[in-house]
């Protein structure tokens, strides 16, 4: 990875941080719980990393095992997180 890529990455990082803060500032306290579980679900995006890690291994080895575990954990995070959020938001609908 050359310096250029790193700088681009860091720029994205900083921008996204601002975007995140902006986003929260507008959320009413009522929705803090769904918001948290929602953003929690989003952090399950690690699943992408998990998929890549698992997929890189050409044969079954430690790496693919670690990746496999990561996939399980990340899917729990994603699926559970979203479903819980959905359940909560459904109650606010009325």
Partner 1 sequence: MLGIKYLSSPNTAKQGNLLSMFGMAAATGITLATPGLHGFNLIIIGMFIGTVIGGYAAIKVKMTSMPEMVALFNGCGGAASALVAMAEFQGVGIGLNSFTLITLMLSMIIGGLTFTGSLMAYAKLQGLISTRPITYPGQQFINGAVLLVTVVLCWFLFQDPSNILVFFAILALALILGVLAVIPIGGADMPVIICLLNSYSGLAVSMTGFALNNNALIITGSLVGASGIFLTKIMCDAMNRSLANVLFSAFGKVDESAADSGEAQTGTMKGFEIEDVATILANAGSLIIVPGYGMAAAQAQHATRELGEYLGEQGVEVRYAIHPVAGRMPGHMNVLLAEADVPYEQLFALEDINDDFDSTDVVLVIGANDVVNPAAKTNPNSPIYGMPVLDVEKARTVIVLKRSMSVGFAGIENDLFFMENTMMLFGDAKSSLQKLVASLKQ
Residue 69 binds partner 1, judged by CB under 8 A: yes
User: Is residue 87 a contact point for partner 1 (CB under 8 A)?
Assistant: yes
Tell me how far apart the terminal alpha carbons of the chain are, to the nearest angstrom.
51
- Contact between 48 and partner 1 by CB under 8 A: the answer reads yes
The site that binds partner 1 (CB under 8 A) totals a number of residues, namely 82
CB of 2 to partner 1, least distance (A): 9
For 67, counting Cβ atoms within 10 Å of its Cβ (0-12 exposed, 13-18 middle, 19+ buried), the class is buried
Nearest approach in angstroms of CB 7 to partner 1 is 11
Contact between 85 and 38 under an 8 Å Cβ cutoff? The reply is: yes
The least distance separating partner 1 from the CB of residue 31, rounded to whole angstroms, comes to 6
Question: Which residues, at least 6 apart from 37, have a Cβ–Cβ distance to it below 8 Å?
Answer: 81, 84, 85, 88
Q: How far is the CB of 85 from partner 1 (least distance, A)?
A: 5
**Which positions from 16 through 45 interact with partner 1, judged by CB under 8 A?**
16-21, 23-45
Asked if residues 82 and 40 have their Cβ atoms less than 8 Å apart, the reply is no
């Amino acid at each position: 990875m050359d310096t250029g890529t790193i700088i681009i990455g860091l720029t994205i990082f900083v921008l996204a941080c601002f975007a995140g803060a902006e986003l929260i500032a507008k959320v009413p306290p009522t929705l803090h719980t769904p918001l948290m579980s929602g953003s929690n679900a989003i952090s399950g995006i690690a699943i992408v990393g998990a998929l890549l890690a698992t997929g890189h291994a050409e044969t079954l080895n430690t790496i693919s095992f670690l990746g496999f575990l990561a996939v399980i954990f990340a899917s729990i995070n994603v699926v559970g997180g979203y479903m819980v959020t959905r359940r909560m938001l459904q109650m606010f609908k009325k």
